[in-house]
């Protein structure tokens, strides 16, 4: 594991963006695994700047996102498809048809999960997977449980996740209770994983993830076994480490 401490959120976003930059320079047709949430906003802003300055070309890049709420169509501003289009894809030269998220409106969500794994497999797997961290240690929407789930699957969100994500909705009742998430298998098979964490609220869970026991009760702890994990976290999140 490589741990990079940054002075603040902006510094984290810049350093993480540089890692994405290096990946695309090394391999123009990279497959990026992308994440949502507030952690990623600064990083996406940096990537947009690099692209608009002409320093970074996304024309041959493809992407697969970690997760999507069940029941939210792409036009819903709370859907992760909407987030990705508005915060990244619409501002860079990535062909939109090469960007994939699970379809939250699929008539048969289990079938959608299966097809999603097949797609990632057929693309040749993920070169660089971006990850944020949930307050309960979730990655993607892999919530704490009794086992690590390997495949893309439907999940019922934990109350704490619903509460944490309620800030993006009018009220807590509007947060979908279910989602589709990439499984632990795809994440662990990514050739490189970039975990970004900021803020003091995540300091104790980050400590558990990186140095606690490897257990499905703390889903992110599996990352300790990844051979090419880079953690970019600000001082506050790394407090005590
Ligand atoms: C959300 C998402 C995750 C994200 C995490 C942290 O629920 N499903 O992919 O990484 O929780 O979110 P935030 O960056 O807003 O703290």
Q: How many CB atoms lie within 10 A of CB 56?
A: 20
CA–centroid distance, residue 136 to ligand 1 (Å): 10
Active site amino acids: 67, 136, 138, 143
Give the pair of three-digit tokens for residue 63.
Answer: 């992407």
pLDDT at 241: 87
CATH 3.40.50.720 correct for 2-234: no
CB of 141 shorter than 6 A to ligand 1 = yes
Q: How many CA atoms lie within 13 A of 222 on its CB side?
A: 25
Q: What is the DSSP string of 86-100?
A: HHTGGGS---GGGEE
Entry pTM: 0.97
pLDDT at 90: 98
Question: What is the rounded CA–CA span in Å between residue 177 and residue 158?
Answer: 8
Q: How far is CA 40 from CA 43, 106, 110, 133, in A?
A: 5, 26, 28, 11
Backbone angles phi, psi at 234, to 5 degrees: -85, 170
CB of 17 shorter than 6 A to ligand 1 = no
85: Cβ contacts below 8 Å, ≥ 6 apart:
74, 96
Q: Nearest C-alpha to atom 10 of ligand 1 is from which residue? A: 132
Exposure of 53 by Cβ count < 10 A (0-12 exposed, 13-18 middle, 19+ buried)? Answer: exposed
Is the pLDDT reported for residue 41 higher than 90?
Answer: yes
Which of 9, 16, 35 maximizes ligand 1 atoms within 8 Å of its Cβ, making it the mutation to test the pocket? Answer: 35
> What is the tens place of the pLDDT at every residue in 185-229?
999 999 999 999 999 999 999 999 999 999 999 999 999 999 999
81: Cβ contacts below 8 Å, ≥ 6 apart:
68, 74, 101, 104
Question: What is the rounded CA–CA span in Å between residue 20 and residue 112?
Answer: 28
pLDDT at 145: 96
Domain boundaries of the chain, sorted by first residue: 2-234
CA–centroid distance, residue 133 to ligand 1 (Å): 6
Counting residues of the chain whose pLDDT is more than 70, the rounded percentage is 100
129: Cβ contacts below 8 Å, ≥ 6 apart:
32, 33, 66, 187, 190, 192, 193, 194
Burial 59-70 (b: 16+ CB within 10 A, else e): eebbbbbbbbbb
> What is the tens place of the pLDDT at every residue in 61-101?
999 999 999 999 999 999 999 999 999 999 999 999 999 99
Is the pLDDT reported for residue 180 higher than 90?
Answer: yes
Over the chain, what is the mean pLDDT?
A: 97
Helices marked H in 53-174 — which ranges? 80-87, 109-123, 159-165
pLDDT at 240: 86
> What is the tens place of the pLDDT at every residue in 43-60?
999 999 999 999 999 999
Q: How many CA atoms lie within 13 A of 42 on its CB side?
A: 18
């Amino acid at each position: 594991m490589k741990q990079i401490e940054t002075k603040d959120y902006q510094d984290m976003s810049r350093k993480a963006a540089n890692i994405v930059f290096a990946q695309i320079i090394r391999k123009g047709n990279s497959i990026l695994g992308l994440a949502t949430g507030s952690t990623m906003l600064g990083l996406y802003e940096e990537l947009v700047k690099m692209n608009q300055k002409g320093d970074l070309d996304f024309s041959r890049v493809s992407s697969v996102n970690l997760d999507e709420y069940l029941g939210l169509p792409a036009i819903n501003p709370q859907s992760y498809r909407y987030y990705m289009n508005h915060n990244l894809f619409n501002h860079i030269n990535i062909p939109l048809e090469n960007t994939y998220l699970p379809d939250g409106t699929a008539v048969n969500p289990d079938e959608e999960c299966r097809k999603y794994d097949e797609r990632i497999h057929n693309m040749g797997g993920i070169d660089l997977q971006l990850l944020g961290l949930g307050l309960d240690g979730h990655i993607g929407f892999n919530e704490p449980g009794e086992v690590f789930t390997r495949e893309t699957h439907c999940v019922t969100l934990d109350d704490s996740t619903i509460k944490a994500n309620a800030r993006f909705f009018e009220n807590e009742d509007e947060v979908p209770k279910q989602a589709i998430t990439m499984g632990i298998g795809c994440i662990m098979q990514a050739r490189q994983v970039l975990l970004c964490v900021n803020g003091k609220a995540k300091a104790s869970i980050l400590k558990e993830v990186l140095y606690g026991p490897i257990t499905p009760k703390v889903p992110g702890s599996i990352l300790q076994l990844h051979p090419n994990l880079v953690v970019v976290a600000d001082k506050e999140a790394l407090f005590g480490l």
